[in-house]
């Protein structure tokens, strides 16, 4: 079996397989974001108070972080295709439960399971690198991550559109159908990958702390991305309020604005290709600078003119490009450390920067409520600048 795995790691992955894995990542991770634009409707239907409505998104994020820390590392222990199949089956059941939940406790339980099941995306990404040759790795990670990022960016406007035509329950029901089809395709088309590690699960989880301590590149790249993803989450949590207050936009207008950010996903495959050519360090600093500049633009131009709206769209695209590009650079860097601990490295990396995103979302509501867009944009500028300061201490390789 060890020989079989080594052969697969040295093969060139086909473009069709890369497309399937990119689409799979996008469809899976979108489940984390559907509820963000539907919390009002969901809270009314399930009996949650408006004050408690935010827990809908929070509990999904808690499930996702828990999955990153305690489920994704299992991909270094057991056969990966089987693990993904079990998790996708659980995700399918959770989505159906959410669609037909008659009350808040059942819906929140389903939301927690949706978060846990959605970590399949973070098993698929390193799985793709096992199938790719070394010279393909950056490009493959970039293409697969572009699918994941498109899923994140399309989830909110798509959920709003579906809910406006039918009810919010249709969003989760349709996603359950897509996940069922996706599971069948992955079972039929993905090869097996059985890790050769003899470590126990307990030893594996305990090793996370040591892995974090002994891997400086992981700590550094996770901090970079936590700062940028914090800025990203801050922006996309606060911008609907700013668009409503300053431009009088409806829910449909906000959904269209969110679509503009999709353009930023183009940075993912480009960053992967350039990283393969040795441009990782330069592009990392550039991503941080672009993220800071994008927030500065939103602070400097705050009238309700068409020109300022266009600049706001440009800032959104720039920020999304910076975050998606730096994410691919970070993942390629940690995947280059070796294959045996790749699942654990990815789980740690993703959980750390996802916590940064959760903090950014939390700060957004407070900063906008008490300081408006001025304070929000200052914080948004400070986060990538903090990453840039730390980046300045990085030694040239």
Which pLDDT belongs to residue 40? Answer: 66
Q: For 49-58, 87-96, 211-220, which range has the lowest pLDDT when averaged over its residues?
A: 49-58
φ and ψ of 71, to 5 deg: -110, -45
pLDDT tens digit sequence for 152-185 = 878 878 887 888 788 889 999 999 999 999 999 9
Which pLDDT belongs to residue 78? Answer: 83
Average pLDDT taken over every residue of the chain: 83
Mean pLDDT of 264-291: 81
Q: Are 288 and 228 a contacting pair, CB within 8 Å?
A: yes
Residue 210 has pLDDT above 60, yes or no: yes
pLDDT tens digit sequence for 7-46 = 344 466 777 888 998 999 999 999 998 887 777 678 788 8
Which pLDDT band holds residue 5 (cuts at 50, 70, 90)?
very low
Which pLDDT band holds residue 351 (cuts at 50, 70, 90)?
confident
Mean pLDDT of 54-80: 82
Residue 72 has pLDDT above 70, yes or no: yes
Q: Which residue did the predictor score with more confidence, 97 or 251? A: 97
- Say what the pTM is: 0.77
CATH 3.40.309.10 fits 13-195, yes or no: no
pLDDT tens digit sequence for 74-109 = 887 888 899 999 999 999 999 999 999 888 889 999
Which pLDDT belongs to residue 6? Answer: 41
* Range(s) within the chain of domains with CATH label 1.20.1250.20: 13-195, 199-397
Mean pLDDT of 140-163: 82
Q: Which residue did the predictor score with more confidence, 263 or 50? A: 263
Q: Which of 74, 70, 78, 111 is nearest to 94 (CA)?
A: 111
What CATH code is assigned to 199-397? Answer: 1.20.1250.20
User: Which residues make Cβ contacts (< 8 Å) with residue 62, sequence separation at least 6?
Assistant: 112, 115
Find which of 48-62, 144-158, 216-230, 318-332 is predicted with most confidence, using mean pLDDT.
216-230
């Amino acid at each position: 079996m060890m020989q079989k795995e080594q052969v697969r790691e040295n093969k060139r992955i086909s473009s069709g397989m890369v497309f399937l894995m990119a689409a799979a990542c996008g469809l899976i991770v979108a489940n984390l974001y559907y509820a963000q634009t539907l919390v009002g409707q969901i809270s009314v239907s399930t009996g949650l108070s408006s004050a408690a409505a935010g827990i809908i998104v929070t509990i999904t994020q808690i499930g996702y972080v828990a999955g990153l820390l305690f489920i994704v590392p299992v991909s270094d222990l057991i056969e990966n295709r089987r693990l993904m199949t079990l998790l996708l089956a659980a995700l399918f059941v959770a989505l159906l439960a959410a669609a037909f939940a008659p009350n808040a406790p059942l819906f929140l339980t389903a939301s927690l399971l949706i978060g846990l099941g959605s970590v399949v995306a973070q098993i698929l990404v390193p799985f793709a690198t096992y199938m790719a040759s070394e010279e393909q790795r950056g490009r493959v990670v970039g293409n697969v991550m572009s699918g994941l990022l498109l899923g994140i960016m399309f989830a909110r406007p798509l959920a709003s559109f579906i809910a406006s035509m039918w009810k919010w329950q249709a969003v989760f029901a349709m996603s359950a159908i897509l996940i069922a089809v996706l599971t069948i395709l992955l079972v039929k088309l993905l090869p097996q990958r059985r890790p050769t590690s003899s470590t126990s699960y307990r030893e594996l989880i305990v090793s996370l702390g040591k892995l974090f301590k002994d891997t400086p590149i992981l700590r550094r790249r996770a901090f970079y991305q936590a700062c940028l993803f914090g800025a990203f989450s801050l922006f996309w949590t606060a911008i609907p309020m700013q668009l409503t207050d300053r431009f009088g936009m409806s829910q449909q207008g906000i959904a269209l604005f969110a679509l503009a950010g999709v353009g930023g996903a183009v940075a993912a495959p480009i960053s992967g290709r350039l990283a393969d050519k040795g441009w990782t360090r330069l592009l990392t600093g550039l991503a941080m600078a672009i993220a800071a500049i994008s927030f500065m633009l939103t602070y400097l131009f705050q009238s309700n003119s068409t020109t300022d709206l266009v600049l706001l769209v440009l800032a959104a695209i720039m920020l999304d490009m910076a975050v998606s590009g730096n994410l691919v650079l970070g993942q390629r860097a940690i995947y280059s450390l070796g294959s045996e601990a790749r699942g654990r490295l990815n789980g740690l990396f993703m959980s750390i920067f996802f916590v940064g995103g959760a903090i950014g979302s939390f700060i957004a509501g407070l900063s906008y409520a008490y300081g408006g867009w001025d304070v929000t944009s200052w914080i948004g500028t400070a986060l990538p600048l903090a990453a840039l300061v730390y980046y300045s201490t990085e030694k040239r390789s």
